[in-house]
Structure 1
Amino acid sequence: MSHGTRPPLPPTNLENCDREPIHIPGAIQSHGALVALDAAGTVRYVSSNFAALLGHAAPLAHDLRNSGLVAKDAPLRELVTDGLAALAGQAELPMPAEWAGNGHAFDVVMHVSHGLLVIEFELRHASEGDIAHFAVRAHRAMEKLRRPRADINELLQLATQELRALTGFDRVMAYRFRHDHSGEVVGEAHADFLDPYLGRRYPASDIPAQARALYLANTLRLIADVQAPTVPLLQGGGEPPLDLSASILRSVSPIHIEYLGNMGVGASMSISIVIHNTLWGLIACHHMAPRQVPYSVRMACDVIAQILGASIQAVLSRRLAERQLEMAALRTRIMENVLHSDDEFAALCTHAKALAASLRADAVVVSEQSKLCVEGDMPEATARTLLDWLHATQAGDAVFATHTLPDAAPELAPTLMPWCGVLALPLDPNRGSWLVFLRKEQLETIHWGGKPEKEIRPGPLGPRLTPRGSFELWKETVRFRAEHWSTDDLDSAQQLLDELRRTQNARSAELNTARNQLMAMLGHDLRDPLHSISMAARMLEKSTSADSGNAGSSQAGRLGQRIQSSSGRMQRLVSQVMDMSRLQSRLGLDLQPREVDLVQLLNDLMDEARTAHPHTQLVSDLPATYPARVDPDRMAQVFSNLISNARHHGEPGHPVEIRLVDGDAADDNRVCIEVRNVAAPIADEVADQMFAAFKATSMGNTRNRTGLGLGLYIASEITKGHGGTIGYVYDTPHVVFQVRLQRAGAAPGPAE
């Protein structure tokens, strides 16, 4: 046996238990013996009690088949040979078998661990008659647990009663693990002299992470005698510790032994309840004295736990299916209303109460920009505070969920209490469009099985966080928590968000198609009538100018000018609509560039603006001439729009400036034309959307009530079509729009 100095003790913290290597303890329990063989049958590990318990030694580095134990016992030799064949992949592992020797009866159980065949000999004390009786009881228990039941706790309570009757333990408890890995006793059968533990909670630290992993790998675990000394494993020098994860005799962590001793337990057995490869719960059996349950009975208990897990899974699956059907029906109704409604916000508000019920929420908030709908008793002011926080902190399009909002936003806790659970679906955060489910604080009094915190005190492994010494009832009131959002809640919310987004996309596509058709129709059907109205207005104006001395003629002339001005404005709007229709139909703007004088084009536009708006002052800083290859009508459209914008939004009494700079700081091959006006800086959120179509900031603008929000978008598309760019900067005190085009004679380049 290899020996070494004890390593330095780790620092005292809650990770001691999680780091303890309980799968490689280097020892087994004393009610059996163990030997591990390699593929050649050579003994690599053997328990120190092997010879005493079985009557023959199993020397290290020797072939077990040549030992006195196996060589003279044909049934055992056959078992070992079959086990080695399984290790070589030539057969299945032998089933557990009975074997008698050295005056004892044994259950012989084999498993494979990291390329080794591990053979365990467990002492059997029960008679054949006792085991037959156990089998009958086990069969009856299985039949009872197979019967359909709607209540999971009822199933667990029945299981504890049947397993106690089958095994004779003083106490059998059914744990159900919660989302935080703490366990709650939801079923119990116990002897009359014991206090009930039903309803008590045990912290997650009582079953560390690596212990939970072993409960999955080895679903039944017996500790026959808590106080019995362990039996060390002998191994060759340099051998790593033997992995005993699947061993039935694996020794017990000293920390767990101390834990059981603090509870006054003399023997224990645990059976895992596994659902979807997850440790869902645990059956814990305690006896106040040593107790060894026969291996065959334990296997029957393991099968019972599997039947119990299948029955629980059936109940959970049925509940989930029913809920999913209800949610699917609700989503279908909502999507139909949203898709066919003119107002998505109103459609969602109609279903707010049903949505709250579907996710077991105490309130629902629907928001869209300044519009707000609250279902539940949350004040609107509180809802707006929460929405402001979500908008400021939750970027992106992911669902946000918490059941401890005061922890996530402590600065808002006084305002938001008692609302602690938030499940927020970002429908369109840029527009302030959210669907938020809320749950109130759930004051919870937890009946802990002893105070959950561990104490630092000297233990068998030195100073560390030791297992809890008291398991008396200890109550704790938990605040600032709501019922947590389950995986099903989060899945349902994500499905709802996905379908709402798909419906939004479908509505947008439908509206875009209808809008494009409408724009094309308006552009086609209105252009000719407007042209006729404009011609009639010009004739009216000319006829009245010939008779200028007549007061009535003067009034008619002013009327003609107004008609012509209005029809001109309408023609410009129609032209924008036509351009928008072409752009959204991906037909392009049909640019026809030719050689023009850019300075002459700008001067002509300024003359037209001075004539139409004599009170507007325009100044320029332009060279005498500047040749360029552009579509003159389209570029006139760009600069006319920029000059008009500067006139509308500039401070009164300050001129609009037009400048042309040959060469650019970023690119000498470009010319930059600037249109400047004195004004405050444009807000960032407006500037970000400035060149988008139908932007909300253009609708209802007090300085340009007739705008559609298309001018800058079309100007940007025209500039891009010429291989140029258009942008905005602020040069105190001027708002500056810059159009950059290829310089005359420069090789054309791609648009930026």
Structure 2
Amino acid sequence: MDSFSVDLTNCDKEPIHILGKIQAYGCLLGIHTKTRTVTYVSKNCYKLFGVQAEDMLNKTIEECLAAAGEYIQQEIARFVNEFSVDRHKETYEIKLQDKLYYAIISQSGETLVAEFEPADKTVIINDRVYDGVSKIIASNAADKLLDSAVKEIKSIISYDRVMVYRFLNDGSGKVVAEVKEEHLEPFLGLHYPESDIPKQARELYKINKIRLIADVDTEDVPVLRTEKSITLDMTHCVQRAVSPMHIRYLKNMGVHSSFSISIIINDKLWGLIACHNYTPKFIDYKIREAAKLLSDIVSSFLFNKKRESNNLIAAKYNDIVRKLQINLLKENTLVKALVQEKTTLLNATEAHGVALCLENNIHTLGSTPDTEQIDALKSWTIENISKPIFSTNKLIEYYAGTDGMLQSAAGVLIVKIGLDAQDMIIWFKPEYIHTVQWAGKPEKNIVARKEGNITLQDISPRTSFDAWTEVVKHTSEAWSEEEIESASNIVQVILETSHKKSKELLEINQKLQAAYDELDTFAYTVSHDLKTPLTVLKTYAEFLKHSQKDLKEDTKQIINNIIKGADNMSFMMNEILSLSRVVTKKPDEKPVNAGEIIQQIVHDLKIVSNNYNTDILIKDTPPVKGDHILIYQAFLNIIGNAIKYSSKADKPVVDITGYEHEGKIYYRITDNGIGIDPKDHGQVFELFKRMDNASAFEGTGVGLTIVKRIMDKHKGIVWFYSALNQGTTFYLIFNK
């Protein structure tokens, strides 16, 4: 390795994967995958192969191992031939000098790396592993599981101390489970600074899940290389030497042997099972692998628990977002929809306060800074934050104007709405003062050393590990991923439902209403007046078809096209007439038995469409209030579309259910059909608009326009959510 002087100021940049050495308990061969020549060899290979390391370089396996015997030549050649890079790592057994060794094979670039270490076949671990697995999976809570895991791993490796070390959001770590020999002081509950495990070490823990340091006092063995070779990348090697800084750190703790196993969740390093022994101790490779198996079970359990918890939290926030979406659809202003309804922005996170900054006005809920402070924070955000979402649980590190704000705003979550550069939502969390027990005060320890006549000073790892208590101030509780996702979803819903300011929307709606009234009158007149001549046209065409016996085939086809076109025009005019009647009809306000309507519609649609394959689930059907004919028409269009557009699914299902919530009656109709592309959501209720993926189905694009008009007349709401090939859910919301 090229020269690199390491201390606490640069240990996070130390290239620990190319130290150019291995630990003394094993030896290493690096074989070029194409030429089969030895390009790397550890200095101590003589004791296993009877050949000096220098004499092995640049020779083929057969040439350099001639003195070792035919058996060793053939076995190592077999390892090279059989190894597949897809397996990442493979373990073989081989006899060297009349002793059994493991050959652990991995690949580094174009080099096949074979690491040899003693194998102890007297150790039988299967029963112990099975017993350990049984005890671990019997735990149904995370703390019990971790306690069981450290006990079982200690029983397998026989180390003095076994801990679970969890990484926290700020990079530090905490011991959350521990089992130890009685005479040792406990580390349970202690925190360790981020610098104790540098970033590049954490990355290697994600790749190599097990790491043994057998003896901190043993001198590492250099790995020789050919002149043309670069320093070997030992990322995947199990015998890789240890950073001098880490060795000094372990010695300062009094630890002579260390063993660690990674806990990986969602491809992230959640923590380590950290094991310490206060005398040198080598662990057989198979035992290390058994301990890793137990750790994998822990990782899987924690992953499932985390997923269950995240799903519950996400479901809660999604429900809040859904309610806010309903508010936005039924209210004319963002302020009324987001801060004046029963469900508000404050419910969307675990914040104690929230501010809606809109149109140069600030609307607050809960515990927040005063208006001037929020306005100043908003100005700072506009000038300094370019991303659409910003979150921190320590605002004081970013923003200088926190004086007098900590009680309500030590942490903030800010999302820009996008309607205007100054429009944003700010959630606030108050200061959370708490204490942290550190395993020794993080400090820089100056050590003098001599280089010739010059005295140099190095910064070494800390030597004190006595418990030290820190009072943490100016910090709030952290923002969870689910809270940030919830805030992002709210902005998306706002942008989807509020493209313009409320005043502009009201003016546009008034103009559109007048235009619709004129269009409806015109449509009714034209449709009604055209029906008679269209009927005459169709009658003459049919008369001509049946009265002339000697018509040519192409002439018959033209006549058939005239008849078919007349039918299509008649169908479309009926649709337009239906739409006109909806507009002109004044709805009744009487109780309507929605259950009977739905049952009749489903029965009729199955007969008309000859569709008996669709599984139609009808659940609760509470009564609604309104006009029987119009409500029948609304359900007919929605249910008809659900059956039609799911008919080509492998197992078509339509789910219909109603329920009461906060003084309103909700009907939900869900199908597993073709779905609607999000880019087309804004056009769904437009007249004669049909989606690109609906061309294979009959229709005119009028039905949903009719439903929208009917629900408007009843002062109700129709809304939906859908995605391509993921089905569609429509909601009809009636006033009780």
TM-score by length of 1: 0.62
Q: 1:492-525 CA deviation, whole Å, 9 max, x = no partner?
A: 211121112212139979746523225659999x
Select 1:306's aligned residue among 296, 299, 302: 296
1:499 aligns with 2:493: yes
Equivalent residue, structure 2, for 1:469: 463
- Residue 31 (structure 1) shift: 0.9
- Secondary structure class of the residue paired with 1:305: helix
Q: Distance in 1 between matches of 2:137 and 2:225?
A: 46
8 Å Cα contact 2:440-2:464 kept in structure 1: yes
Equivalent residue, structure 1, for 2:478: 484
8 Å Cα contact 1:455-1:465 kept in structure 2: yes
Whichever residue aligns with residue 115 of structure 1, its letter is E
Select 2:439's aligned residue among 433, 443, 449: 449
Equivalent residue, structure 2, for 1:65: 62
Select 1:143's aligned residue among 106, 114, 134: 134
Provide closer, same or farther for how the CA distance between residues 353 and 443 of structure 1 changes in structure 2, counting only shifts above 3 A: farther
8 Å Cα contact 1:399-1:426 kept in structure 2: yes
1:319 aligns with 2:309: yes
- Residue 317 (structure 1) shift: 0.9
- Secondary structure class of the residue paired with 2:287: helix
Select 1:118's aligned residue among 107, 113, 121: 113
- Residue 103 (structure 1) shift: 4.3
Percent identity over paired residues: 29
8 Å Cα contact 2:321-2:348 kept in structure 1: no
- What pairs with 1:24-39 in structure 2 (closer than 5 Å)? 24-39=18-33
Whichever residue aligns with residue 186 of structure 1, its letter is V
- What pairs with 1:201-280 in structure 2 (closer than 5 Å)? 201-280=191-270
- Residue 173 (structure 1) shift: 1.1
Where in structure 1 are there 5+ consecutive unaligned residues?
Answer: 525-752
Where in structure 2 are there 5+ consecutive unaligned residues?
Answer: 520-736
- Residue 127 (structure 1) shift: 4.3
- Secondary structure class of the residue paired with 1:45: strand
Whichever residue aligns with residue 46 of structure 1, its letter is V
- Residue 431 (structure 1) shift: 8.8
- Secondary structure class of the residue paired with 2:132: helix
Equivalent residue, structure 1, for 2:76: 80
- Residue 384 (structure 1) shift: 4.2
Q: Distance in 1 between matches of 2:362 and 2:342?
A: 12
Q: 1:54-90 CA deviation, whole Å, 9 max, x = no partner?
A: 444452222222445786353x44432233225687x
Equivalent residue, structure 2, for 1:374: 364
- Residue 380 (structure 1) shift: 4.3
Q: 1:260-300 CA deviation, whole Å, 9 max, x = no partner?
A: 00000010011111122221111110000011111001111
- What pairs with 1:647-662 in structure 2 (closer than 5 Å)? none
Q: 1:651-710 CA deviation, whole Å, 9 max, x = no partner?
A: xxxxxxxxxxxxxxxxxxxxxxxxxxxxxxxxxxxxxxxxxxxxxxxxxxxxxxxxxxxx
- Residue 167 (structure 1) shift: 0.9
- Secondary structure class of the residue paired with 1:261: helix
8 Å Cα contact 2:101-2:116 kept in structure 1: yes
1:338 aligns with 2:328: yes
Whichever residue aligns with residue 141 of structure 1, its letter is G
- What pairs with 1:160-239 in structure 2 (closer than 5 Å)? 160-239=150-229
- Residue 440 (structure 1) shift: 0.7
Q: Distance in 2 between matches of 1:194 and 1:212?
A: 27
- What pairs with 1:682-693 in structure 2 (closer than 5 Å)? none
Q: Distance in 1 between matches of 2:417 and 2:108?
A: 52
- What pairs with 1:89-128 in structure 2 (closer than 5 Å)? 95-124=90-119, 126-128=120-122
- What pairs with 1:696-711 in structure 2 (closer than 5 Å)? none
Q: 1:320-360 CA deviation, whole Å, 9 max, x = no partner?
A: 11111111111111110121023431221245876545422
Provide closer, same or farther for how the CA distance between residues 35 and 468 of structure 1 changes in structure 2, counting only shifts above 3 A: same
Provide closer, same or farther for how the CA distance between residues 471 and 166 of structure 1 changes in structure 2, counting only shifts above 3 A: same
* Superposed CA RMSD: 3.2
- Secondary structure class of the residue paired with 2:475: coil
8 Å Cα contact 2:317-2:349 kept in structure 1: no
Q: Distance in 2 between matches of 1:457 and 1:207?
A: 21
Provide closer, same or farther for how the CA distance between residues 523 and 381 of structure 1 changes in structure 2, counting only shifts above 3 A: same
Whichever residue aligns with residue 156 of structure 2, its letter is L
- What pairs with 1:719-734 in structure 2 (closer than 5 Å)? none
Whichever residue aligns with residue 432 of structure 2, its letter is Q
Select 1:365's aligned residue among 355, 370, 388: 355
8 Å Cα contact 1:366-1:434 kept in structure 2: yes
8 Å Cα contact 2:368-2:428 kept in structure 1: no
Provide closer, same or farther for how the CA distance between residues 341 and 475 of structure 1 changes in structure 2, counting only shifts above 3 A: same
TM-score by length of 2: 0.64
- What pairs with 1:534-545 in structure 2 (closer than 5 Å)? none
Q: 1:407-434 CA deviation, whole Å, 9 max, x = no partner?
A: 3222342355452111123336749654
Provide closer, same or farther for how the CA distance between residues 47 and 357 of structure 1 changes in structure 2, counting only shifts above 3 A: same
Q: Distance in 1 between matches of 2:282 and 2:246?
A: 18
Q: Distance in 1 between matches of 2:157 and 2:378?
A: 60
Provide closer, same or farther for how the CA distance between residues 142 and 97 of structure 1 changes in structure 2, counting only shifts above 3 A: same
Provide closer, same or farther for how the CA distance between residues 415 and 111 of structure 1 changes in structure 2, counting only shifts above 3 A: closer
Q: Distance in 1 between matches of 2:298 and 2:378?
A: 48
- Residue 107 (structure 1) shift: 1.5
- What pairs with 1:408-447 in structure 2 (closer than 5 Å)? 408-415=398-405, 417-427=407-417, 430=420, 433-447=423-437
Size of the aligned set, in residue pairs, is 511
- What pairs with 1:529-678 in structure 2 (closer than 5 Å)? none
8 Å Cα contact 2:139-2:148 kept in structure 1: no
Q: 1:366-387 CA deviation, whole Å, 9 max, x = no partner?
A: 3444765433233644664556
8 Å Cα contact 1:27-1:251 kept in structure 2: yes
Q: Distance in 2 between matches of 1:45 and 1:254?
A: 22
Provide closer, same or farther for how the CA distance between residues 145 and 504 of structure 1 changes in structure 2, counting only shifts above 3 A: farther
